[in-house]
Structure 1
Amino acid sequence: MSDNEQYMLTEQGQTLLVKARGDWTFENAKVLYERLSDWQDSTDLTEVRYDFSEMTELDTSGAYLLARVLEGAEGERRSWNIDQGSKGQMTLMKAACEALRGDPPTHTRQWYDTLIRLGIATERFGKEVWETLAFIGHFFSVLGRLLLTPTKIRWKSVVALIEDVGLDAAPIVMVLSFFIGAVIAYMGANLLASFGASVFMVDLVGFAVLRELAPIITAILLAGRSDSAFTAQIGAMKMRQEIDAMTVIGLDTYETLVVPRAIACVVVTPILTFLAMMSGIFGGMLVAWSGGADISPVMFLGRFREAIDLTQFGVGLVKTPIFGLIIAIIGCRQGLAVTGSVESLGSRTTTSVVQAIFAVIAVDAMFAILFYQIGV
């Protein structure tokens, strides 16, 4: 047995246990090389097992030094395994050990690797669904408790978030909806002019913008803008251990971070959707007037009042609070799932946006089916 401040070598039968500590990098490679060279290994050892649980840093120099213990008497090469270590450490150590042993490249089996990746993805999906359901349950229990005692809600945070999520996002939402309404009007004008029914372009713009396009465009923009911001903000707090500090001083993470964002999104999403509706209709009216359809604003608004009733307006607005709640929950849940690495923050932010957009579109499809079944 050999013990050192940066490693411990222990023999168990024909197995050598190597427990590395601290930094195994190029800066201290010379000292580590001399210390390992002083250790005389036994010739009857056939296996080496590594434990990197107490290692802080590892580079190619350190990996090569650790791989040297695979050398036995008369040039023989021992088998090896890694008991504990991060994914990066295992990858680097595997490359060093295989290079020292002269192992040939690993031949992959495409069908086998595909099934492995499919299994890992399925396991990850199941875990993600389970953790999301647990988060939703915890969130609604906290929200219900706060609604019974509204004085505990952090209204200053809610107002600040409404400004950040809603007021700051209004220009981009309105501009995009304006162009969407204009595009729909151009398409309708070109298509319906061949039938001599250009006036029905007003119906097309009204139904499309009010029922579907304005709500879904608003939700997607919020998912890309605010949802990613929620994940990045909470994830950065998690990395700096601010959330742990909040827990230590007795603050509930859900009350402080999640509920205010959810309330802000629920309040803001219908307002932004209304602005998107008005902007989209204005874009369609402008195209109808100046785009060759020869439909004046007065005629456009008259046909609009005749063909579109308040039901279409209500159908578009009634689902927007659900969209806002989904966006807030997913953004906060992914932020709280961030670990201590920058890679985790980027990965969770990307996952947050993708999940939010997917969930919004899926829920919108469910609403469309529901409204069709009840005849709305």
Structure 2
Amino acid sequence: MAASADFETDEGADGVDVRFTGRLTLARLGDLPARLDALGPIAALDLSDVERIDTVGAWIVTRTARAHDAKVTGASEDAQRLLKALAEDKSDYRVHPDRRPMWTRMLEQLGSASLGVWNEFIGIVGFFGAMIVAFITQLRARRRIRWHAIVTRFQSVGVDALPIIGLMSFLIGIVIAQQGAVQLRQFGLEVFTINLVGRASIRELGLLMTAIMVAGRSGSAFAAQIGTMKLTEEVDAMRTIGVSPMEAIVLPRVAASTIIMPLLGFYASLCAIIGGGVFSWVGLDIPPITYIQRLREIIPMTDFWAMLIKAPVFGILVGVTGCYSGMQVRQNAEEVGRRTTSAVVAAIFLVIVLDAFFAVFFSSIGWN
């Protein structure tokens, strides 16, 4: 078995003379560097008994010689070649690099994250512009519009999502009614629970929760499907035969999510209102007829129009972010997962930001 790296010391007039033994290789060094650092002034380093030396061992010898201004003797021809190469390199290498202050690392991570978000935003805007150009091209030659692909996406984006969106919205309606009733009961105003459920469902929560659900369900599916097509080179094959991936893959998905989002939002709002009505009937003893009549009195048409204006925008946003993330897949299957996650996070974040913008805008024009 090969001997581990070790050394012997002799006290000299100018310091310690170190004579290395065994193999000065990475696999055999052990704690030798730490023991060398613990020695006092070193006058000479003797390599005559070294069986074998590699770059790491030569670097240890060179570093020690520089630190103590020691003389290296007894080096073999191979050791001399390594030591000469390392002697010409004046870089200050360290086994453990100096750890930078925490605030410096935090600022660096914050800057990198901000730059990444900005680059993603610019990429999505550019991708949206390319999609608009492809859409205008299809409008000029309507025979190129793939109606069958759009209708097929209606099934996956809309019809298949009805059960989960309906159940989710129904339960959210119950939660809003229950929490609102608990607070309003303190003032003897439980009847205003109907106002809370009706306006919140139609104007905000119904559509917002639908957009989040579609982003997590269909937006991720868009990214995963297109990302897999990129890895299997189907997208490149389309370009080779003269088919535009933007027209064949992206536009049908974005069109389907844009058209179906208002319908899903309206459906989700109705389910939330029904859930609130069930709780009002069971928990507050408000008859369904009274509940419906009250809804007709307190829900203005502006809430309905606001929902219809926001819904297509959210649909475009979900479709574009999902397709963009799928198109960015380049290397391996692991990137498909990362891009799918990125599509969902970006879509939900942008939907919430735009919803806040719409809330301020509608309030400023008097749609309160």
Q: Percent identity?
A: 40
In 2, the alpha carbon distance for the partners of 1:305 and 1:77 equals 90
CA gap 1:345/1:302 in 2 versus in 1, 3 angstroms: same
| Residue 365 of structure 1 pairs with residue 356 of structure 2 | yes
Find the partner of 1:127 among 119, 128, 146: 119
Counterpart residue type for residue 204 of structure 2: E
Residue 273 (structure 1) aligns with: 265
Residue 346 of structure 1: aligned partner: 337
Choose the corresponding residue for 1:117, options 109, 112, 115. Answer: 109
Q: 1:252 to 1:197 in 2, by over 3 A?
A: same
Instruction: Give the distance between the partners of 1:168 and 1:362, measured in 2 at CA.
Output: 27
Distance 1:170 1:375 in 2: 33
**Which residue does 1:320 correspond to in 2?**
311
* Paired position in structure 2 for 1:65: none
Residue 327 of structure 2 corresponds to which residue in structure 1?
336
Measured after TM superposition, the shift of residue 196 of structure 1 is 1.6
Q: CA deviation at 1:352?
A: 0.6
Between the aligned partners of 1:103 and 1:309, the Cα distance in structure 2 is 70
Q: Structure 1 counterpart of 2:180, which letter?
A: G
Unaligned runs of 5+ in 2: 1-53, 60-77, 87-92
Q: Which is further off, 115-124 or 195-204?
A: 115-124
Counterparts of 1:1-376 in structure 2, within 5 Å, are: 72-73=79-80, 76=83, 104-110=95-101, 111-291=103-283, 293-376=284-367
Count matched residues. 287
Contact 1:239-1:339 within 8 A present in 2 as well: yes
Do the aligned residues in 2 keep the contact of 1:238 with 1:340 (CA within 8 Å)? no
| Distance in 2 (alpha carbons) for counterparts of 1:269 and 1:295 | 32
CA 1:115–1:202 in 2, change beyond 3 Å: closer, same or farther?
closer
CA distance in 1, matches of 2:141, 2:173: 43
TM (normalized to structure 1)? 0.72
Partners of 2:108 and 2:84 in 1: how far apart? 30
Q: TM-score under structure 2 normalisation?
A: 0.74
**Offset, 1:124:** 2.5
Structure 1: which 5+ runs fail to align?
Answer: 1-40, 47-70, 80-101
SS of residue paired to 1:319: helix
Q: Is the 8 A contact 2:262 2:307 kept in 1?
A: no
What do you get for the CA RMSD once the two structures are aligned?
2.2
Asked which structure has the greater CA Rg, the reply is: 2
Structure 1 CA distance for aligned equivalents of residues 79 and 247 of structure 2: 60
